[in-house]
Amino acid sequence: MKALICKTPGEFSYINKDIPSARENMVLLKMKRLGICGTDYHAFEGTQPFFEYPRILGHEIAAEVVKSDDGCEFKPGDFVTISPYFSCGTCIACRSGKTNCCVSIKVFGVHIDGAMQEYISVPASAVVAGKGLTLDELALVEPLAISAHGVGLAQIKKGDTVLVLGAGPIGLGAMAFSRINGGEVIVIDVNDNRLAFCRDQFDVKYTINPLKADPLEQIKEITGGDMVKVVIDCTGNLNAINDAFRFLAHSGKFIMIGLQKGVIQILHPEFHKREAMLMSSRNALPVDFENVIDCISKNLIKPLELVTHYVPFDQVKGKFDQLLHAKESLIKALICFDE
């Protein structure tokens, strides 16, 4: 079979590998669709924390079951996705039910080789039933679960004003789940095309480009001076994160889904007087995958609206850098393995 490996930052290479065996308690999957996410782009750029090379990238998966144990609930021909966070089950986080932040977690396509290959073998416990979703929809379940998990941490109540930083796929998911929970959404991004997408496709009333307007004044006006109850960062941009603390309402919460390598700076008196809460959001839990699939099934979220690009697997090497720099037109790209 063919696999695409990121040998060093900026360098992809196709290699030939043996099809993995379906060992006990493992499921052999044939790849059908694979979402390209920020982690993949950052790994290619060399800016992704927790990363070593060479690595086969990819963890936003839609696949077909090829082989599984006789006692497994998944049968050949089933369309599935996976929860790509392999936890130890015994550390303090796992014992607390927080398998998403396991002390020794292995994320598929980050800590271990991922899904930019024609076949993969994964633990049966990681496989998530497709429940009638299309292949394209299944490939978007994992990134939407990331959004759903972060929004869940915020405990948004009806009428809460939620500021989402970044209008990429994770940010769009955060907007969708914030609104499902009753939040009133404001979005900040420096890309006018993405802000237009938020208005036109997601019906977001308030969009701010900080390069063209003072976001502090805009948010004061929108909220009547109250500022925002929840800030959710989906940019992983240090400047955006540091700047956004001043937008928090008293008693507000700041949820960081985005990830970057720098040092966050907080003016302690301003943060302290608000009795504000700062939380990181890492990966997702099984309940988040169930929530996403249920919301897609009920048409509360329409994930296919996010897909702007399709790339055949054998063309990914030649087109990846083009996708990386397609800032004006790109929302979400899917790799197709069967075309």
| pLDDT tens per residue, range 198-228 | 999 999 999 999 999 999 999 999 999 999 9
> What's the DSSP call for residue 19?
P
**pLDDT averaged over 10-residue windows placed end to end, the chain, 339 residues:** 96 96 89 95 85 95 93 92 97 98 96 97 96 98 98 97 97 98 97 95 95 97 98 96 97 95 94 97 97 97 95 96 86 91
Is 286 exposed, middle or buried (CB count within 10 Å of its CB: 0-12, 13-18, 19+)?
Answer: middle
pLDDT reported for residue 47? 81
CA distance 251 to 263: 24
Instruction: Output the pLDDT for position 70.
Output: 74
Angstrom distances, CA of residue 85 to CA of 74, 124, 168, 207, 311: 19, 13, 22, 33, 25
The residue ranges of every structural domain in the chain are: 2-139+302-336, 145-280
Residues 46-69: pLDDT tens digits?
887 778 899 999 999 999 999 998
Please give the distance of CA 197 from its chain centroid, rounded to a whole number. 18
* Measured distance CA(82)–CA(138) in Å, rounded: 9
CATH ID of 145-280, from 3.50.50.60, 3.30.360.10, 1.20.120.10, 3.40.50.720: 3.40.50.720
Q: What was the pLDDT predicted at 137?
A: 98
pLDDT attached to residue 339: 61
pLDDT at 338: 83
pLDDT at 326: 86
Cβ contact 89:70 at 8 Å: no
CA torsion sign, 312 to 316 to 319 to 320? positive
* Bond from prior residue into 20 cis (ω within 30 degrees of 0): no
pLDDT at site 71: 76
CA–CA distance, 284 with 148 (Å, rounded to integer): 8
- Per the structure block, which two tokens stand in for 262? 């720098």
Q: CATH number of the domain at 2-139+302-336, out of 3.90.180.10, 3.40.50.300, 3.20.20.150, 3.30.200.20?
A: 3.90.180.10
